[in-house]
Structure 1
Amino acid sequence: MRVMLVTNPFATFTTAAGRDTLANTLSARYDVDVEHTTHRGHAGELGARAAADGYDAVVVHGGDGTVNEVVNGILGAPDRPSPVDPADLPALGVIPGGSANVFARALGIDRDPIVATAQLILLLDSGSRRPISLGHTLNRWFLFNAGMGMDAIVVRRMEDKRRKGKKATAQRYFATTVSSFFSSSVTPPVFTVTVPDREPIEGVRFGFVSNTGPWTYFGTRPIATNPHTDFDHGLGVFAATSVGILRNIALGSQLLRGSDNPHARHLFRDDDVEWVRFTGAEPADVQMDGDYLGRYTELEFGTRKHVLHVAAAQPE
């Protein structure tokens, strides 16, 4: 089996020794080419090369942003004129190396890289390939979530902190989220959310679109904004029309408790829609899979069924 191992030496929780151990372990069983990312977008270039050169699998050791880049490289843009059968593309394997590792954990991959490597070897040896659906917007694929408004503001502020040398820990994300809601210098946008067969939701202050659940993790605790969204169905929508502290503390406590039905008077939620549209008069912050993308006035979200094969067990 021919495998490309893509590692991100800048990921939050990877080490040189750990990367070497992973490379040596996989090389003992497979024909492995090791590639270290050196710049933003490099992982996408490597994913595209792996698809063009006919690799059987691409294993990514890094955070969610690196995995996202590799997937976009493997698949090409959502609007490409001649999509490739996913069975003819490399299977994707993930060894967690970031701070949250939402995608890997949603697939049932252990957080511990050593345990995850053992899982991956069993899956590759058995030829296990699970087809999953992906969301897309801005002509890019997203693996688990994208958002406009407050969550993107938090991601932007976290990226500013990381550039200053601070690690992206769960506690720092939590503190940044709380401070963003309380800060007078943070002005969330106002936009409209449209979904099929419903009147537009006006006055939205922040909105999430999920491709699976959970939306993220607080340490070991899953935060599920759309508990019934998964890799085999449509998109989840979570749109709030208020940034009021008391309203959102109550809503946030439901998410922290793991509610199976998060609800509030200022919240619209649907766990399975075909498409979603966000439109606003002023540009708003946007994030995808935890990476900040910039500011936009309009986003159209869609989904493509079973477009990617992953080395993961089938859901029970």
Structure 2
Amino acid sequence: MRALLVVNPNATTTTERGRDILVRALRSQVKLDVAYTQRRGHAADLAREAARDGMDLVVTLGGDGTVNEAVNGLMTFDSGPAAQRAQDRPALAVVPGGSTNVFARALGLPSDWAEGTGAILEALRDRRERIIGLGRADDRYFTFCAGLGIDAEVVRRVDQARHKGSTSTPWLYFRAIMAQFIATNRRVPLLTLDLPGETAQTGLTWMLVQNTAPWTYIGERPVDPNPRASFDTGLDVLGLRELQVGSTTRAVAQILSNRREAKGKQVLRLHDLAGFTLTAARPIAFQVDGEYIGECDKLDFASVAGALRVVC
């Protein structure tokens, strides 16, 4: 089996010594090439080339951003019919190396990179893999979530802080959430959701789209606003119509408690959607898998069933 290991050298929880151990371990199982990312988007280019070269497996060592780029590279290496079949592209294996590692943990892998490596090696020996669905927003694929509005603005704030030298921690995200909530004009509805053949949902200020559960983690604790979301179903949606202090505080408390689903007049919930369109009254922040993408005023979402083989 030929494999490419895509390493993010800035991965939060790994060291050079740890990466050397991983390389030696993988080379005991596969014929391995190693490539280090050098810029944003590089992991996508490396995975795309691996698919074009006929590699059997792409392994990522990094966080959810590295995984997302690699997935997009694998999904776009060929525009022909083969691009629609998971069997015709390399499988993906994920060694967790970021601060949160939502995708790896959603697959049932350990959050620690060393334990995750052991799980991947065992799965390779046993030839154990599964086929999962992905989400797509226009031409960008995502593995576990996409968001428009306040959560994307939070991701942008965190990215800006990290570029200035801050470490990605739950406390950094909490500070960003508080700062963004204060800065947001909470009474201006921005988003409209259009489902084929149904009445449009209007007046939405925030929209979270999940391809699986959980949405994220706070340390070891999963945050599950759409607990029925799954790699094996369509997309799940949670939207808020207004960001007023009282109602939003209740909804957020319900989401974080994981004891019950957020409910109320301001809450929109939809399950197992094949596709829909989101439009905004003005350009609004957009993120996929915890990575800030930019601003947009319209996105077409789709669930892509049976899209990708993963070793887990």
TM-score tier after normalising by the smaller chain length: over 0.9
In the TM superposition, what is the alpha-carbon distance from 1:198 to its structure 2 partner? 3.4
- The residue identity in structure 2 corresponding to 1:71 is V
* SS of corresponding position for 1:233: coil
- Counterpart of 2:227 in 1: which secondary structure? coil
State the match for 1:3 in structure 2. Answer: 3
From the superposition, tell whether residues 218 and 311 of structure 1 become closer, same or farther in structure 2 (CA, over 3 Å).
same
In the alignment, the residues of structure 2 paired with residue 197 and residue 185 of structure 1 have an alpha-carbon distance, to the nearest angstrom, of: 32
For residues 170 and 250 of structure 1, what CA distance do their matches in structure 2 show? 21
Which AA in structure 2 matches 1:74? Answer: L
Match of 2:165 in 1: 165
Distance 2:280 2:71 in 1: 29
Name the CA distance, whole Å, in 2 between partners of 1:195 and 1:179.
Answer: 33
Q: Does 1:70 align with 2:65?
A: no
Kindly indicate whether the alpha-carbon contact (under 8 Å) linking 2:133 and 2:232 is maintained by their aligned counterparts in 1.
yes
Identity of aligned residues (%): 39
When structure 1 is superposed on structure 2, of 84-93 and 297-306 the one drifting more is 84-93
- Residue-by-residue CA offset, 1:273-313 (whole Å, 9 max, x unaligned): 1112111221111111111111111111001111100002x
Look up the equivalent residue of 2:213 and give its one-letter code: G
Alignment of 1:1-316 (within 5 A): 1-76=1-76, 80-84=79-83, 85-183=85-183, 190-312=190-312
Structure 1 residue 259: Cα displacement:
3.0
Q: CA deviation at 1:77?
A: 7.2
Q: Which runs of 5+ in 2 are unaligned?
A: none
CA distance in 1, matches of 2:163, 2:16: 21
- What SS does the corresponding residue of 2:81 show, helix, strand or coil? coil
Q: 1:32 to 1:81 in 2, by over 3 A?
A: closer
Distance 1:34 1:188 in 2: 49
SS class of match (1:45): helix
C-alpha separation between the residues in 2 aligned to 1:224 and 1:12? 24
Q: 1:244 to 1:52 in 2, by over 3 A?
A: same
Describe the shift of the 1:189–1:63 C-alpha distance in structure 2 as closer, same or farther (beyond 3 A).
farther
Q: Given the superposition, is the C-alpha separation of residues 303 and 83 from structure 1 closer, same or farther in structure 2, using an over 3 Å criterion?
A: farther
Asked if the contact 1:182–1:245 (Cα under 8 Å) also holds between the matched residues in 2, the reply is: no
**Change in CA separation of 1:81 and 1:90 when aligned onto 2, cut-off 3 Å:** closer
Aligned-partner Cα distance in 1 for 2:188–2:55: 44
Residue 81 of structure 1 and its aligned partner are, at CA, apart by 4.1
Q: Alpha carbons of 1:162 and 1:188: their partners in 2 closer, same or farther (altered >3 Å)?
A: farther
Distance in 2, Cα, partners of 1:126 & 1:204: 47
Q: Quote the offset at 1:13 in angstroms.
A: 1.9
Consecutive unaligned residues in structure 1, runs of 5 or more: none
Q: Partners of 2:225 and 2:134 in 1: how far apart?
A: 17
User: What is the distance in 2 between the residues matched to 1:46 and 1:187?
Assistant: 44
Using the alignment, how far apart are the partners of 1:124 and 1:187 within structure 2? 52
Number of residue pairs matched by the alignment = 311
In 2 relative to 1, CA 189–35 (structure 1 residues): closer, same or farther, beyond 3 Å?
A: farther
Q: TM-score, normalised by structure 2?
A: 0.95
Deviations 1:22-77 (A, max 9, x none): 11111123211111111111101110111111222111010111111111111107
Distance 1:27 1:184 in 2: 50
Whether the 8 Å CA contact 2:96–2:111 is kept in 1: the answer is yes
